[in-house]
């Protein structure tokens, strides 16, 4: 059974730094690959707060654009309003085909409902303590705690070894992408989908490892078995 071609939508991920965990970012990006490529990545918060330092570090490693929002009034969070304004600008810009909102704040309920009225999917990512209104307003709402546990379980496998000029970080990225990809009854996944999933997490380029194409790299990695079907490559993890 052939796998479906990867989705190529233009996805916007908006993160409420005060109400989202940086530990769940990688699995969130993997889930959003169901909708397309996360080309727009923005995070909002008052970066003077020491509690946001971990998020600040993530902005560099994941290509996320930070937006500064001062707490103008005690007890009031201006971040929500700024995120909402930006989301509406993106919505009516006409180039975004899906949204991800990382927050457990019910204030984003009207935003999620408004986006869906335009026929555009909204994936919400928060804790199970998130008010029901926001959870139900999203096309899909995903519990980040469960998502992170599943991701950590995959990461607990024995570490892969660097071979053939491919470092362990790259191998781990490919294995994560394979684990998230759709597989047939024999365990094979389309290489094109794996490439899209890996690209959603990292700006890797196989040429940095001395290969012209991803298929050339995969043929050299002993962790995967590959086969051609009607000119398309499919791969299966074997160790």
What is the model's pTM? 0.73
pLDDT in tens, 16-34: 998 999 989 988 998 898 8
Q: In which band, very low, low, confident or very high, does the pLDDT at 130 lie, cut at 50, 70 and 90?
A: very high
Listed range (59-73, 97-111, 157-171, 176-190) with the worst mean pLDDT? 157-171
DSSP the chain: -PPPPPP-EEEEEEEEGGGS-GGGHHHHHHHHTTTEEEEEEEEEE-TTSGGGHHHHHHHHHTTPEEEE----STT--THHHHHHHHHHHHHHHT---EEEEE---GGGHHHHHHHHHTT--EEEEE-TTS-HHHHHHSSEEEEHHHHHHHHHHHHTSPPPPPBTTB-HHHHHHHHHHHHHS-B-TTS-EEHHHHHHHHHHH----GGGGT-SSHHHHHHH-TTEEEEEETTEEEEEE--
Mean per-residue pLDDT for 45-62?
89
Mean per-residue pLDDT for 137-148?
91
pLDDT > 90 fraction of the chain, expressed in percent and rounded: 43
Q: In which band, very low, low, confident or very high, does the pLDDT at 3 lie, cut at 50, 70 and 90?
A: very low
Q: What are the boundaries of each domain within the chain? A: 9-150, 157-237
The matching CATH number, chosen from 3.30.420.610, 3.20.20.140, 3.40.50.261, 3.30.70.990, for 157-237 is 3.30.420.610
pLDDT in tens, 86-127: 999 999 999 999 999 999 999 999 999 999 999 999 999 999
The pLDDT assigned to 2 comes to 42
CATH classification code of 9-150? 3.40.50.1010
Q: pLDDT at residue 76 above 60?
A: no
């Amino acid at each position: 059974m052939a796998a479906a071609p990867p989705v190529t939508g233009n996805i916007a991920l908006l993160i409420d730094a005060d109400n989202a965990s940086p530990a769940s970012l990688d699995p969130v990006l993997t889930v959003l690959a169901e909708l397309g490529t996360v080309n727009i990545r923005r995070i909002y918060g008052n970066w003077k707060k020491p509690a946001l330092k971990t998020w600040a570090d993530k902005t560099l490693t994941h290509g996320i654009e930070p937006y500064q929002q001062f707490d103008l009034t005690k007890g009031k969070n201006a971040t929500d309003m700024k995120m909402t304004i930006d989301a509406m600008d993106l919505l009516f810009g006409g180039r975004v085909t899906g949204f991800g909102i990382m927050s457990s704040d019910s204030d984003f309920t009207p935003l999620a409902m408004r986006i869906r009225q335009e026929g555009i999917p909204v994936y919400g990512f928060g804790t199970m303590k998130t008010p029901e209104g926001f959870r139900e307003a999203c096309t899909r709402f995903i519990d980040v705690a469960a998502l992170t546990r599943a991701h950590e379980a995959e990461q607990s496998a024995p570490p892969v070894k660097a071979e053939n000029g491919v470092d362990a970080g790259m191998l781990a990225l490919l294995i994560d992408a394979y684990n998230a990809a759709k597989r047939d009854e024999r365990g094979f996944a389309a290489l094109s989908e794996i490439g899209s999933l890996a690209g959603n997490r990292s700006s890797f380029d196989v040429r940095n490892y001395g290969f012209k194409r991803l298929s050339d790299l995969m043929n050299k990695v002993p962790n995967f078995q590959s086969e051609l079907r009607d000119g398309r490559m499919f791969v299966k993890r074997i160790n």
